[in-house]
Amino acid sequence: MPVLGIDLGTSNTCAAVVKGGAVQIILDETGHSTMPSVMSLNREGRFFVGHLAKAQMATQPYLSVHSSKRLLGQKFSSDNVQKTLPYISYSVVADPDGMPLCEIGGQRISPVEVSAAVLKKVKRMSEYALGCEVKQAVISVPAHFDNVQRTATKEAAELAGLEVLRLINEPTAAALAYGFGSEKNQRVAVYDFGGGTFDVSVLEISEGLFNVIGTGGDTFLGGNDFNQILADWLIKNFKSEHGIDLSLDQMAMQRIVDAAEYAKIQLSQNEHTEIKLPRISPNINENLGISEVVYRSHFENLCLPLVERSLRICERVLRDAGLRIKDLDELIMVGGMTRMPLIREMVQKWLSKPLNTSMNPDEVVGIGAAIQAMSLATPQSDLLLLDITPLTLGIEAANSVFVPLIPKNTKVPHRVHRHFTTNRDNQSSVVISVYQGEGKRCEENTFLGAFELSGIRPAPRMIPKIKVSFKIDVNGILEVSAIDEDSKESQSIEIVDMAKKALHSLNQ
């Protein structure tokens, strides 16, 4: 039975499988190798996914969910989610736990369910293309996804009827596609700029061994942000000329964002392009429209800070790995945004050597995930992947101090133990609160979960010995346990996604 490799993207999703030693890309019903990660609601109240769903966004934006991967595993109140809300066409509300829910057609759907709908369609497409049932998959995630986001991705796959053999970091998957089957002996960096996220990873590749030595990224830096910058410019110009704020008009906003995305693509090929949107606000004045000529040079000036942001992440990853730019043999460009001339020019200037742009940036992660899937399904495979955790894991101590237990860039799987104690006399219980991030204080990091260890025998403060154990698996998912070594009372928790479980059956 084949095992799928799936690149579950913010904007598009790609699936592949290795058959007879060759990679087969799974095509959707339109013959495309990538499928928009968009879900819409039709007039009969049924959900559908893919190209038709994206097409409906132009006419019924409030019935289409897009870019939901940016909401996955996030708190509704987070700065990143709040910055995203003005640029999405559907309503987002908070559930009782403070997690975001997408609201379309009077129905509330979690980002997990949206991802599950996309994966469910990928599963059906693959079964049709391969002529057999598909039950297992390797799914890629951004390298900088935290534990909550990874668990949410795994939950989405389970809702779609897929067993996840492994979650693989997107740049790591790209490196597998680049180096598999060759005799390369190199240190490479993968610069992965997709629709919603940016990642960079550094790997050492040697005869089937893929050793990740550094990774970093930003889950709110991607092609969507380039679209938004151009959309903001168009809205600002229109308001200056006509006194009307189009950001308050949901239909107008979707048309503008779509036009900005198309213009961005055109400007990778041409020096200028024209954006024409007649009757942009018919409810106010049907004679008004947008007509702008956008030059590549102007667009690049608008976007320069985003590209510089990506290079700062590259520098930090190299620094944390103890490397310099000259230590890299090659830099592989991955993700649709790497077609942008400005990005190629700035990255090449930073690297001071030619870039590797030989692989299809839209398919390479899916191909790498398929290669990893093949290796897991083939016991005699020579491929060995050694990945790392992208963020530090630890617990809360007194005064909200964050105590690291597993530093970032630690090889996974990994297990560690550390002893703690009480801070009050005769304390009978302690709460173990788990966080992930690089801040020195807990409020600067992501809260993953908590549990209470009770039954501690009465004793003066600092006397009880409480052993806390962290175990992180190859998917980057964490299990935490604690035991009072005197009373032998113990408790454990697998850090699970804080988003809602499925509330609706998806009518596919």
Q: Are 41 and 57 in contact (CB under 8 A)?
A: no
Q: Are 421 and 380 in contact (CB under 8 A)?
A: no
Q: What is the DSSP string of 124-161?
A: HHHHHHHTS---EEEEEE-TT--HHHHHHHHHHHHHTT
> 391 — phi, psi (to 5°)?
-135, 150
Residue 199, SS3? strand
CA–CA separation, 178 and 173 (whole Å): 9
Contacts of 473 (CB under 8 A, 6+ apart): 412, 413, 479
Q: Are 161 and 150 in contact (CB under 8 A)?
A: no
Point out which residues pair with 40 in neighbouring strands. Answer: 48, 64
According to DSSP, the β-strands at 136-141 and 3-8 are parallel
Question: Which among 98, 72, 102 is positioned nearest to 497, based on CA atoms?
Answer: 72
Residue 111, SS3? helix
CB atoms within 10 A of CB 438: 12
Residue 209, SS3? strand
Task: State how far Cα 19 lies from the chain centre.
Answer: 27
- To the nearest 10 degrees (0 to 180), the angle between helices 223-242 and 250-266 is 120
Q: Among this protein's residues, is 192 annotated catalytic? A: yes
Of the residues 170, 258, 330, 362, which is catalytic? 170
Of the residues 69, 120, 121, 408, which is catalytic? 69
**220: which 2 tokens?**
């709110």
Class of residue 233 by CB neighbours under 10 A (exposed 0-12, middle 13-18, buried 19+) = middle
Of the residues 7, 249, 484, 497, which is catalytic? 7
**498: which 2 tokens?**
């804080």
Point out which residues pair with 205 in neighbouring strands. Answer: 186, 210
Question: Which among 435, 406, 437, 403 is positioned nearest to 421, based on CA atoms?
Answer: 403
Q: Among this protein's residues, is 264 annotated catalytic? A: no
Of the residues 28, 113, 146, 192, which is catalytic? 192
CA–CA separation, 396 and 74 (whole Å): 20
Q: Is the peptide bond before 404 cis (omega within 30 degrees of 0)?
A: no
Q: Among this protein's residues, is 170 annotated catalytic? A: yes
Q: Are 140 and 170 in contact (CB under 8 A)?
A: yes
**163: which 2 tokens?**
């067993």
Task: State how far Cα 389 lies from the chain centre.
Answer: 15
According to DSSP, the β-strands at 209-218 and 384-388 are parallel
Q: Among this protein's residues, is 7 annotated catalytic? A: yes
Which residues are annotated as catalytic?
7, 69, 170, 192
